Amino acid sequence: MPTAVIAGGSVAGLASALALSGAGYRIVVLEREAPPPAGPVTEAAGPWRRSLVPQSSHSHTLTSLGVRLLRAHAPEVLRAALAAGAPLLDLTVARPPGAPGGAREADDLVALGCRRTTLELLLYRAVCAVPDVTVRHGQAVGGLELSPAGDRVRAAVTGAGERVPADVVVDASGRVALSRGWLRAAGVPVADDRISPSGLTGFTRFYRLLDDRWPGPLGRGNAAGDIWGHYAGVLHPGDDGTFSIALGVLPGDRAMAELRSEDGFTAVARATPGLGHWLDPEVSVPLSPVHAITSPPNALRGTAMPHQRPVAGLFPVGDAACVTNPLFGRGMSLALAHAFRLAALLTAHEDVDIAQRRAFARMTRELFLPWYEQSAAADLARIARWRAAIDGTAPPRSPGPPGAGPPTSEEIGAAARHDGLVWDALTRMLMTLATPAEMLRTEGFTARVRAAAVPLDRSGEPARADLLRLLAGARGASV
């Protein structure tokens, strides 16, 4: 039986372990952190802190693609999430009239409301129950042993110098993408990455509802709030009666720095449309302090792409291959998709050789490139819009005459509030079931967006000056 060494025991690494064990591999997962807490999931997931996965303490959701993959490949994980109180969220409740209906849409258009630590803990326990998987904690891959020609993996080498023989090494080290350093140390040239700013500093706080009733609707089916003209304020339901609120601003926006405080965060969250009712003291109680993070840039790793000089048996997976802005909430779903696609590829092409590695690179580009490009373009447009709001200048305009080129994200979003077909195509894209190009190719899509000609309604959005006054009041109250 061939052996796969997986560097990293987070979502991408655990999904890879599940997928490759089903493909006939013996698995060794090397994870730098200590094991997660024992005990019931609902008690263990909340206090679990992942010091090397800082995004784990922030808002997450599992898009429709992720739910589909769990149903197909890890139904026991989905069942366990539902048993832990993670709701399946029917997005079709937010569909305006006029969309095509049917069993396929109703079945596909769901999301899973689940904290990141809960889903990761369930994946971990599922992996540990597989006979051919060993998880070794407190260990990390520090390098690779390659063949004399430098074109094939022979072993992973731990940071302590232990040689772990391997037919396959999966880099699931996340955003740090450790395989870049492994290749350089082995004398293999590393291909350039594609990088684009994400332009986001996020603040998240978790809460628990005091009873089973939701105090307000989820305007998007899986979330309340929105990405507004100068900040983001979004609420996501979680498992076990929890929910999280995430507020996002531009990095370096010092005027909004008071969001780090509980008083400042609460003041802005309560002023954000769709969120205030959830924060009534008779409705919910806080579970956590305010967690802050500045998102890394969008990155498409050259080491995972076809222009990288191939090393047979080395596979960067998940964030080690591509990072996109967490505002879009698709990272976990894409990690699951990548892991199960890798397993399918290795099953179809059993020989661990250069041809297999090149096939992986083509598959990786096909999976991630549309999402990298969409995130990079959307972030640049949002950064310009938010910057104009901060500077008090006119918002940027789309280049070219009206109607030229594809519809803008704002045009699509405005039309989707009134046109069911546009809503359906947009939601399938946001839920990672269709690429942006596939959305635009939906029959009648562009014509209906153009025909709608409805400006995006920002009438309920709090003005930046009002939020700054609330933050100043919170700062004064805490002195």
Are the CB atoms for 61 and 113 separated by under 8 Å?
A: yes
Does residue 426 contact residue 416 with C-beta atoms inside 8 Å?
yes
- Which pLDDT belongs to residue 61? 87
402 falls in which pLDDT band (50, 70, 90)? low
One-letter amino acid for residue 143 of the chain: G
Give, in order, the Cα–Cα distances in Å from 450 to each of 49, 358, 405, 426: 47, 41, 11, 15
Helix then strand then coil, in percent of the chain rounded to 5, is: 45, 20, 40
Q: Angle 331-348/64-73 helices, nearest 10 degrees?
A: 40
What is the structure's pLDDT at 397? 72
DSSP 367-417: HHHHHHHHHHHHHHHHHHHHHHHHHT-PPP--SSSTT-SSPPHHHHHHHHT
Is residue 100 over pLDDT 70?
no
The candidate with the shortest Cα–Cα distance to 334, out of 107, 111, 76, 66, is: 66
Whole-number pLDDT of residue 457: 67
pLDDT in tens, 15-73: 999 999 989 999 999 999 999 989 998 888 887 777 777 676 778 889 999 999 999 99
Q: Are 237 and 60 in contact (CB under 8 A)?
A: no
* More confident: 394 or 276: 276
pLDDT value at 297 more than 90: yes
Q: If one looks up domain 3-60+115-193+297-375 in CATH, what number appears? A: 3.50.50.60
207 or 106, higher pLDDT: 207
* Minimum mean pLDDT range among 79-83, 310-314, 399-403: 399-403
Instruction: Name which of 62-76, 92-106, 385-399 the model is least confident about.
Output: 92-106
Greater confidence (122 vs 409) lies with 122
Per-residue model confidence (pLDDT) at position 177: 96
CATH 3.30.9 domain extents, the chain: 201-295
Asked whether residue 389 carries a pLDDT value surpassing 70, the answer given is yes
Mean pLDDT of the chain: 92
Name the pLDDT band for 103 (thresholds 50, 70, 90).
very low
Prediction pTM value: 0.94
Q: Tell me the per-residue pLDDT of 216-235, one tens digit each, with 9 for 90 and over.
A: 888 888 999 999 999 999 99
**What's the pLDDT score for residue 456?**
66
Question: Quick one: which of 431, 432, 434 has its CA closest to 445?
Answer: 434
Residue 442 has pLDDT above 60, yes or no: yes
User: Percent of the chain having pLDDT more than 90?
Assistant: 79
User: What is the predicted pLDDT for the residue at 479?
Assistant: 40
Give residue 398's pLDDT: 65
- Looking at domain 201-295, its CATH class is alpha beta
pLDDT of residue 102: 47
Q: What is the dihedral of CA 174, 180, 185, 189, to 10 degrees?
A: 170
As annotated, the residues of the chain forming the CATH 3.50.50.60 domain(s) are 3-60+115-193+297-375
Q: What CA–CA distance (Å, rounded) separates 69 from 24?
A: 19
- 120-150, pLDDT tens digit by residue? 999 999 999 999 999 999 999 999 999 999 9
More confident residue, 271 or 51: 271
Query: Distance between alpha carbon 329 and the CA centroid of its chain, in Å?
Result: 4
68: left (phi over 0), alpha (psi -120 to 50) or beta: alpha
What is residue 274's predicted lDDT score, i.e. its pLDDT?
94
Per-residue b or e along 304-314, where b marks 16 or more CB atoms closer than 10 Å to that residue's CB? bbeebebbbbb
Q: How confident is the model at residue 107 (pLDDT cuts 50, 70, 90)?
A: low
Per-residue confidence (pLDDT) for residue 180, from 0 to 100: 97
Does residue 134 sit in helix, strand or coil? strand
